[in-house]
Amino acid sequence: MEEGKIPKHIAIIMDGNGRWAKKQGLARGYGHREGMKPVRRAVEFCRNKGISCLTVFAFSTENWKRPASEVNIIMGILREYLYSETPELNANGVKVRFIGDISVLPQECREAIYYSEKITEKNDSLTLNIACNYGGRADILRAVKTLAAKAVQGDIEPEELTEDDVSAELYTSGCPDPDMIIRTGAEKRISNFLIWQGAYSELYFTDKLWPDITEDDLEEAVQWYSERQRRYGGLK
Ligand code: FPP
């Protein structure tokens, strides 16, 4: 692959867990549980490729509409993932960071998040952003509120605000914008994921369901990315 064509930041909408479970004749929760495996594969993949940021969409602000039993299963899986994977993630230099409003998550889940974020906070080989109770509009609104408060305080001049100032207040600050957003599970929507940060992202859709995603699938996605020509609205 041509040098420079490896993305620095990959973001993934992990869709299809429920359908995967149904295909096996299992309850939806089994699909979410199986969904932990490709998260591991994606982390490994990014580490091997030298990709510096991986953002995965684990739970959206809209996912609260699901039955409480399913919400609880997903929260339990996140917690289990954090306790079982953090030692290895830490040993491999991965920094775990949650993006989204975690203040309303169940206490046990928040404890697992603090544990993982704290242990891994100084790592810098790969940042794993786990989007949980995340919504792109809520992300932008939060940034706007912070900037508005600074303006009221007289710390910034509204006229002088730049796009970088907004980016710096988003949950993803410190990571470059995603070069590529992957969505599995055959739907072709962005679903309120990284809508500011993804303004120029290459969008990659695959019909494969998230639990079925392998390292080869990720390799194929990155290969596809390497063949895209990014023009950012300009000419070749
Ligand atoms: C979408 O599939 C998936 C989710 C809402 C949950 C994602 C959670 C995981 C993959 C668990 C592991 C995550 C981490 C970070 C350890 P869906 O339920 O909408 O599938 P469907 O469209 O087939 O119903």
pLDDT band at 229 (very low <50, low <70, confident <90, very high): confident
Residue 113: enclosing H or E segment and its boundaries? helix 107-120
**Residue range 113-119: mean pLDDT, rounded:** 98
**What pLDDT does residue 128 have?**
98
**What pLDDT does residue 5 have?**
87
User: Which tokens belong to 124?
Assistant: 């810098």
**What pLDDT does residue 232 have?**
75
Query: Percentage of residues in the chain with pLDDT exceeding 70?
Result: 98
Checking if the pLDDT of 112 tops 60, the result is: yes
**What pLDDT does residue 32 have?**
98
Q: How far is the CA of 19 from the centre of ligand 1 (A)?
A: 10
Q: Active-site residue among 63, 72, 123, 192?
A: 63
Q: Active-site residue among 15, 177, 179, 217?
A: 15
Q: What is the mean pLDDT of the chain?
A: 96
**What pLDDT does residue 231 have?**
74
**pLDDT of 135-151, one tens digit each?**
999 999 999 999 999 99
Checking if the pLDDT of 3 tops 90, the result is: no
**What pLDDT does residue 77 have?**
98
If you take atom 18 of ligand 1, which residue's CA is the nearest one? 18
Q: How far is the CA of 14 from the centre of ligand 1 (A)?
A: 6
Q: Which atom of ligand 1 is nearest to the CA of 57?
A: 7
| Fold topology of 3-226 | Undecaprenyl pyrophosphate synthetase (3.40.1180)
Checking if the pLDDT of 1 tops 80, the result is: no
**Residue range 195-205: mean pLDDT, rounded:** 98
Q: Is 192 a catalytic residue?
A: no
Least Cα distance to 134 among 209, 192, 73 occurs for 192
Which of 13, 17, 109 for a ligand 1 pocket mutation test, highest count of atoms within 8 Å of Cβ?
Answer: 17
**pLDDT of 21-63, one tens digit each?**
999 999 999 999 999 999 999 999 999 999 999 999 999 999 9
Higher pLDDT, 37 or 229: 37
Question: How far does the chain reach from its first CA to its final CA, in angstroms?
Answer: 20
The three state secondary structure string of 140-186 is: HHHHHHHHHHHHHHCCCCHHHCCHHHHHHHCCCCCCCCCCEEEECCC
Cα(59)–Cα(63) distance, rounded to whole angstroms?
6
Using the 8-state DSSP alphabet, how is residue 94 labeled?
Answer: E
Q: Is 124 a catalytic residue?
A: no
**What pLDDT does residue 233 have?**
81
Which of 32, 61, 71, 116 for a ligand 1 pocket mutation test, highest count of atoms within 8 Å of Cβ?
Answer: 32
Cα(30)–Cα(142) distance, rounded to whole angstroms?
34
